[in-house]
């Protein structure tokens, strides 16, 4: 028997740190988005400067979230990257097809309300979640 | 693609978790490679090759003849 000398936890620790960092930036982005969306109405009465600052802070948090996500994906192993790639492709495809179809529904007067981007984000999130779930099941 | 990963691991009495730690991949990945559900990338194949001190061809065999 050859003894396998490994440094357990090295790689998993890095993944854990990445996940925590991604969680922090996701929370920061959501909170700053909420401030930018509701602040003008409930806090500063649509004053331009605070609205602009809130939007800028939200954009910076968004860029940091993108970078944290990129780092997280880079440190995943081959299989996990493949699962993420397939889930992201599914989410993007569903987003484009459903998003344009949804927009068209209003254009040709088949629905009487304005399509909301949030509906599309929810649908894309569901498609992504489904992609990750089926990917993990396939390679279990 | 076929591979001898499971046999080689068993010969050395290593667990999937130990092999996964050594290769810096998840246990799920080791299992997927062993069962042939997932073909590793070239860098991972080289890592496996270095770890077992065997050539890539001694571990992985292509079952298609071009």
| Minimal Cβ distance to B32: which of A4, A11, A79 | A79
A49 and A68 together in one domain: yes
Does residue A4 lie in a domain region?
A: no
| Structural element, H or E, at residue B61 | strand B60-61
What residues of A are in contact with residue B32 (Cβ under 8 Å)?
79, 139
Does residue A101 lie in a domain region?
A: yes
What residues of B are in contact with residue A78 (Cβ under 8 Å)?
25, 29, 38, 40-41, 44
Q: Which residue of B has its CA nearest to A9?
A: B21
A66 and A51 together in one domain: yes
ipTM over 0.90 threshold: no
Residue B37 C-alpha, separation from nearest chain A C-alpha, in angstroms: 6
A19 and A57 together in one domain: yes
How far is the C-alpha of B34 from the C-alpha of B63, rounded, in Å?
A: 15
pLDDT, average across residues A41-64:
97
First to last CA, chain A: 28
pLDDT, average across residues A77-83:
96
Query: In whole numbers, what is the pLDDT of chain A averaged over residues?
Result: 93
Residue where a domain stops, chosen among A75, A101, A128: A75
- Residue extents of the structural domains in chain B: 2-54
Indicate if the pLDDT at residue A131 is higher than 70.
Answer: yes
Q: Cβ separation of A79 and B13 shorter than 8 Å? A: no
pLDDT, average across residues A122-135:
97
A107 and A93 together in one domain: yes
Does residue A3 lie in a domain region?
A: no
Percentage of residues of chain A with pLDDT beyond 90: 87
Q: Which 3-state string (H, E, C) describes A18-39?
A: HHHHHHHHHHHHHHHHHHHHHH
Residue where a domain stops, chosen among A33, A52, A75: A75
Give B37-50 pLDDT, tens digit per residue.
999 999 999 999 99
Residues spanned by the domain of A122: 77-140
pLDDT, average across residues A76-91:
97
Does the beta carbon of A21 lie under 8 angstroms from any beta carbon of chain B?
no
**CA torsion angle A81 A82 A86 A92 (round to 10):** 30
Q: Cβ separation of B21 and A136 shorter than 8 Å? A: no
Q: What is the pLDDT of residue B63?
A: 77
Residue where a domain stops, chosen among A75, A97, A115: A75
A32 and A82 together in one domain: no
Indicate if the pLDDT at residue A3 is higher than 90.
Answer: no
Does residue A59 lie in a domain region?
A: yes
Give A28-39 pLDDT, tens digit per residue.
999 999 999 999
A71 and A22 together in one domain: yes
A132 and A82 together in one domain: yes
Does residue A21 lie in a domain region?
A: yes
Q: Does domain B2-54 have CATH number 3.90.228.20?
A: no
A95 and A64 together in one domain: no
Interface of B with A in 43-62 (CB under 8 A): 44
Does residue A97 lie in a domain region?
A: yes
Indicate if the pLDDT at residue B62 is higher than 90.
Answer: no
Provide the pLDDT confidence category of residue A12 given band limits of 50, 70 and 90. confident
Provide the pLDDT confidence category of residue B56 given band limits of 50, 70 and 90. very high
Q: What is the pLDDT of residue A1?
A: 54
């Amino acid at each position: 028997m050859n003894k396998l000398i490994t440094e357990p936890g090295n790689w998993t620790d890095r993944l854990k740190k990445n996940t925590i960092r991604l969680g922090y930036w996701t929370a920061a982005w959501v909170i700053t988005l909420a401030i930018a969306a509701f602040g003008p109405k409930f806090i500063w009465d649509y004053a331009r400067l605070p609205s602009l600052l809130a939007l800028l802070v939200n954009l910076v948090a968004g860029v940091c979230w993108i970078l944290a996500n990129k780092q997280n994906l880079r440190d995943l192993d081959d299989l996990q990257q493949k699962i993420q790639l397939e889930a992201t492709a599914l989410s993007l495809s569903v987003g484009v097809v459903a998003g344009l179809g949804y927009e068209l529904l209003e254009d040709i007067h088949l629905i009487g309300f304005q399509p909301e981007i949030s509906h599309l984000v929810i649908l894309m999130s569901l498609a992504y979640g489904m992609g990750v779930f089926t990917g993990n099941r396939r390679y279990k | 693609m076929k591979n001898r990963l499971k046999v080689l691991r068993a010969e050395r009495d290593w667990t999937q978790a130990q092999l996964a730690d050594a290769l810096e991949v998840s246990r799920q990945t080791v299992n997927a490679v062993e069962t042939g559900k997932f073909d590793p990338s070239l860098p991972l194949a080289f890592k496996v090759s270095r770890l077992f001190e065997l050539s890539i061809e001694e571990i992985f065999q292509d079952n298609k003849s071009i």
